Chains A and B, each alone.
With several copies, the nearest count.
Chain A
Amino acid sequence: MNFQLSEDQVALRDGLQAIVEGRFSLDAVREREDASSVVDKAGWQALADAGVFCLFVPESLGGLGLSITDGVVAVEVLGHALVPGPIIGTMLAAGTIAGAAEGTTLVGIAATSDRGAVPGVLELPSDCDGYLVLPSARDGAAPATYLARSAISATLATRSLDPLHPVGRLNGPLVSGTLELSGTADALRRRALLLTAAFEVGLAAFALELSVAYAKDRYQFGRPIGSFQAIKHLLADELARLEMARAQLHYAAVVTDAPDIAAIDGEVYGLSSTQLEWRAVAGAKLLCDQAALSATKTAVQVHGGMGYTWEVPVHLALKRARVHATMLATSDQMADIVASLTH
């Protein structure tokens, strides 16, 4: 048993980290705030050139042929840097949708809502060329499809919660695309959830690091505020939440990559390998939702008044955490899945 990042994974992480530091510095990312298009074309191209989008594409088709676990490692880096754009959809579409791997086609994810009364919204309507359409979880049999942006009627919001991840309102129910994707919608959904959770882990780590740095630098009452237990203990709890979430995320990625391990572990709980995979993925998403929402909220609190200013970047992590804890699925849905697989 080996739960450490492999040498290749460390190299992947560090290499991507270097690219992100060059292309997606905080200043560079913040230039996209309130832009109608948040994607910086040159930066996006750099990600494509680094192989981010063709990460899952088999080597025989010119991709990197890497695993979901590798993808999780990569997306954590992107989340930490708040990189804007339809990263996850594009990664999952590459190999099927022309141009996704190369960075010329930007692919979002359009998930139909499970709450009938609340119409869905569309992520990044000004940036995406098309969408992976995931049917409602209740409609388990329906396949995932691809739909061009031009085939969706949606209105860009004048003001989105997250300036770096704007959304649009769907003007009518989402219809299935014409291009049917291989693999089940169910499997695609699990992968999308895992990568989203990885982005959340990056956000949580970013928020925690900002908070720790601020707590060391900021003096009040003649002491760094990080020497007060009220602050220290908040941050210790966030670290505990984050490390647990990250461990479960990596575990869930590993069993997604290796159905044989899922089968062995599932046996202990009386679950099939797919059920074990779902339990692991839903649990990971739930824990990562909590880690990201909590670490970013705590970051605002630790920064005090400064945390409530637009200038300090914690709110960007906070808002993005809300986006990723909402769009594809909610924590409540994840908790219900885990419960249904606990017996």
Chain B
Amino acid sequence: MDLRATPAEEAFRADLRAWLAATLPTLPEKALHTDWQARRAYDTNWQGLLHAAGYAGIDWPVEAGGRGASPVEQLIFKEECERAGAPYVGLGFVGLLHAGPTINAEGTLAQRTTYLPKILSGEHVWCQGFSEPGSGSDLASMRTRAVLDGDHYVVSGSKIWTSHAEVADYCELLVRTGTEASRHKGITWLIMDMKSPGIDVRPLKTISGSTEFAELFMDEVRIPVENRVGEENDGWRVTMVTLSFERGTGFVGELLESMRLLRELTELAKRTGAYGDPGIRRRIGHLAATFDGLWALTKRTVSEAQATGIPGIGGTVFKLSYSEAGQKMADLAMELLGDAGLLFDDVTHATDGQSLGNADHVENWIKSFNLTIAAGTSQIQRNIVSERILGLPKEPTVGAKK
């Protein structure tokens, strides 16, 4: 157990830090949260800069055009980016973190050549068409149907929680090619051009009032067979191959952001006087210890991935603890804000005249409810942890109801 950086890791960090320090000041103003075209432009510009500097596809294999960084270097990359205040992966996340790696692992040479370079350079934005209104936790029950018609699949159905669908060029789409009863075994993975006729994108407003998600309606959309990745009816396995692609670093950005928010909260507590209350202090202490523990867990997971190629159990249990802590912190923030937590407009401190930062904390409170829902509800996470790690028996399959 040695947490010292190797000379290579130190050099990687130093170079990156220098590049970030030189590059970030040159970025344009951030786009308005609601202006999707502007956000696309901002995010793809950033991806282009990363690409030019050799940081695009940090976790992609070198053969696929990525940097092929080690898990530890990936961690360093996320850490330095967050601490320097660099932009997030933003609209590029589906392409860079899921569709791209999937095509690289399972796609044909032609598919790899066609799609991967433009994901890396930021030219193309992808969206994900997995969840359906009727298939949330139970993804394998999806019903969007694809019927083979000559050399095309004809797709009809609907998807939900499709991020940035309005500005995406392509969609990684799961469709049912087998019978409904076939469940996991009748699903196929397709690349859908978002300019195809028959696609209707409707923004989906979330409880925070934002519309970064959409519903996707497909009415006899024709997708060439050559856009199929993997075999017909083998889409479930294709999807799973890359679901563990992120070796324990999936939540690093969020965790580091939570640590920053907690420091801000501590500052807020000092300004409002709440810090003098030992009960409030203990809650801060518990949260800080929990985030520290999750950071240590992340390092251990990454280290395991580096040593063994497998991220180990840390990555699986991380989200349960992180989600709970994130919600506790959001609740604490609302309590510290008091009345100022009831609006997004800046409220200023009565004594020091500075903003209380309430808008960020209120936004964070609303988003915190999604922590235990998105990317697998905590209930599903607990099933996975208890069955796959603890080896507890599955629930009996539904069958002979009496």
Give the B-binding residues of A (Cβ under 8 A).
1-6, 9, 69, 113, 115-121, 155, 157-162, 166-167, 169, 212, 215-216, 219-233, 235-237, 239-241, 243-245, 247-248, 250-251, 254-255, 258, 260-261, 268, 279-280, 282-284, 286-287, 297, 300-301, 304-311, 315, 318, 322-323, 326-327, 330, 332, 334-343
Contact = CB atoms under 8 A, between A and B. Distances in A.
B303 A227 contact: no
B23 interface: no
Interface in B377-401: 377-379, 381-383, 385-387, 389-396, 398
Interface in B329-371: 334-335, 337-345, 347-351, 356, 362, 369-370
B372 interface: yes
Interface residues of B, number: 101
A343 B263 contact: yes
A236 B379 CA distance: 10
Contacts of B390: 212, 232, 235-236, 239
Contact of B314 (A115, A241, A247): A247
A232 B75 CA distance: 32
Given A229-B395, A287-B290, A161 B341 contact: yes
Nearest to B275: A339
A226 B392 contact: yes
B304 A4 contact: yes
Given A230-B379, A301-B372, A342-B263, A335 B362 contact: no
B111 interface: no
Contacts of B273: 115-117
A26 to B, nearest CB: 16
Given A226-B393, A310-B207, A113 B299 contact: no
B209 to A, nearest CB: 7
Nearest to A157: B343
B396 A117 contact: no
B267 interface: yes
Contacts of B303: 1-4
A280 B292 contact: yes
A269 B285 CA distance: 14
Contacts of A220: 135-138, 141
A36 B311 CA distance: 47
Nearest to A244: B293
Identify the 8 closest CB pairs spanning chains A and B, nearest first: A335-B285, A283-B289, A3-B303, A339-B285, A315-B207, A232-B386, A248-B293, A251-B296
Contacts of A280: 292
Given A231-B379, A305-B136, 11 more contacts: A3-B299, A161-B343, A240-B318, A243-B297, A244-B294, A248-B293, A283-B289, A301-B372, A330-B338, A334-B289, A342-B266
B382 A236 contact: yes
B143 interface: no
B146 interface: no
B167 interface: no
Contacts of B345: 155, 157-159, 169
A161 B342 CA distance: 5
A2 B289 contact: no
A318 B387 CA distance: 25
Contacts, number: 325
B278 interface: yes
Contact of A332 (B141, B282, B379): B282
B240 interface: no
Nearest to A332: B282
- Chain B at the A interface: SS class: helix
B73 to A, nearest CB: 10
Given A167-B343, A301-B377, A310-B205, A286 B272 contact: no
21 contacts: A4-B300, A5-B1, A69-B1, A113-B339, A115-B273, A115-B338, A118-B340, A166-B343, A167-B342, A167-B343, A212-B392, A220-B137, A227-B394, A230-B379, A233-B379, A245-B293, A247-B300, A248-B289, A283-B288, A318-B369, A335-B282
Contact of A310 (B2, B206, B341): B206
B147 interface: no
A279 B292 contact: yes
Contacts of B356: 118
A327 B136 CA distance: 36
A166 B342 CA distance: 8
A100 B382 CA distance: 45
B189 interface: no
A230 B278 CA distance: 34
B387 to A, nearest CB: 7
Contact of A118 (B2, B135, B204, B272): B272
Contacts of B286: 286, 335, 338
B374 interface: yes
A232 B343 contact: no
A151 B42 CA distance: 46
Contacts of A4: 1, 300, 303-304, 307
Given A1-B6, A6-B1, A308 B349 contact: no
Contact of B392 (A232, A243, A326, A343): A232
